[in-house]
Amino acid sequence: MSDIPLLDKELNDWGNDEQEQAYDLLQSLKADCEGTPSKLYINEDEELQSYLMWFARMENLPYEVTDGETKVCSD
């Protein structure tokens, strides 16, 4: 019987993917925000842009793609 890789992931790869990085980044940006987070600004060249947009939608956090830095702001 041969070994079949599960979803092409090695044991060391779990917990180190782009989705988790994006989620952790969003949570960190929200924690750094002074006040209640109300909008996510995502740099147009952000490597994790699509995942950040997805997580923002899941958390009902409006977002905007910008040429500035990736950050979370409050009202």
- Distances in Å between the Cα of 22 and the Cα atoms of 16, 53, 63, 64 are 10, 9, 14, 16
pLDDT digits (tens, 9 = 90+) for 18-71: 999 999 999 999 999 999 999 999 999 999 999 999 999 999 999 999 999 999
Neighbouring C-beta atoms of residue 55, cutoff 10 Å = 19
pLDDT digits (tens, 9 = 90+) for 29-40: 999 999 999 999
Residues 64/44, Cβ–Cβ less than 8 Å: no
Question: What's this model's pTM, rounded to 2 decimal places?
Answer: 0.77
Instruction: Give the sign of the dihedral formed by CA 30, CA 52, CA 75, CA 66.
Output: positive
Q: Backbone phi, then psi, for 66, in 5-degree steps? A: -140, 170
